[in-house]
Amino acid sequence: MFYEDLSEYDYRDEDAFTDRESGFYALWYRPAYTRLNIGWLEAGKPYSTGTVPTVVVEKLKAVQEVQWMNVCLGVHECDLCPAGEAPEGNGEVRIPGGPGFAYAAPFLITHYVTAHGYRPPQAFMDAVLAVDLGVRTVARRPFSLGSGGRGTHVGVEASEAHVRSQSRIEATVTGPWKT
Ligand SMILES: [Zn+2]
């Protein structure tokens, strides 16, 4: 899957957030914020390379630890790696960009940086560094994306978010794959 950096994300209309701590529910919502693609690399497509500060990679990994976005889309394999050695990533990551927009990157972005020399746009790296992991909702719940992590709500309000409460336990019990 290839998208040019900073193009508008239109892969799917909705974002799905899974609460990682309980693991019991997911929220689907139609984001009011614009999503800009970052790091959707594909074999044969050129991408920018260069040095990325370690602190950026570490911060990205820290966000990925607490945020589960769109994990329902399934596993995405790195196709820049030789077959059989390619790591897989599940889901995406959202980084608050500024008022009204967020960056949308695949989970594998950290692998692309460390293994393939990918260098995301500077604005994205600045945004990663600006995420305040101390503000749990900003990192964990992209629908309450703040401006620079300072808690100003610019994203989806409750009236716009349509919440389809979904219990993983129920899904396991009633899903056709469990017959
Ligand atoms: Zn790879």
Task: Give all strands of the β-sheet with 101-106 in edge-to-edge order.
Answer: 34-37, 101-106, 92-98
By the 10 Å C-beta count (0-12 exposed, 13-18 middle, 19+ buried), 90 is classed as: middle
For residue 142, what pLDDT is reported?
Answer: 54
For residue 14, what pLDDT is reported?
Answer: 80
For residue 154, what pLDDT is reported?
Answer: 32
78 CA → ligand 1 middle, Å: 5
80 CA → ligand 1 middle, Å: 5
114 CA → ligand 1 middle, Å: 9
For residue 165, what pLDDT is reported?
Answer: 32
17 CA → ligand 1 middle, Å: 25
Kindly give the parts of the chain with pLDDT less than 50: 24, 138, 143-179
Distance (Å, whole) CA 107 – CA 18: 14
For residue 25, what pLDDT is reported?
Answer: 54
> Quick check: helix, strand or coil at residue 32?
coil
106 CA → ligand 1 middle, Å: 13
For residue 139, what pLDDT is reported?
Answer: 54
Q: Contact, 120 vs 38, CB < 8 A?
A: yes
pTM as predicted = 0.72
Distance (Å, whole) CA 3 – CA 118: 14
46 CA → ligand 1 middle, Å: 14
CA angle 16, 94, 6 (to 5 degrees): 120
Distance (Å, whole) CA 66 – CA 133: 9
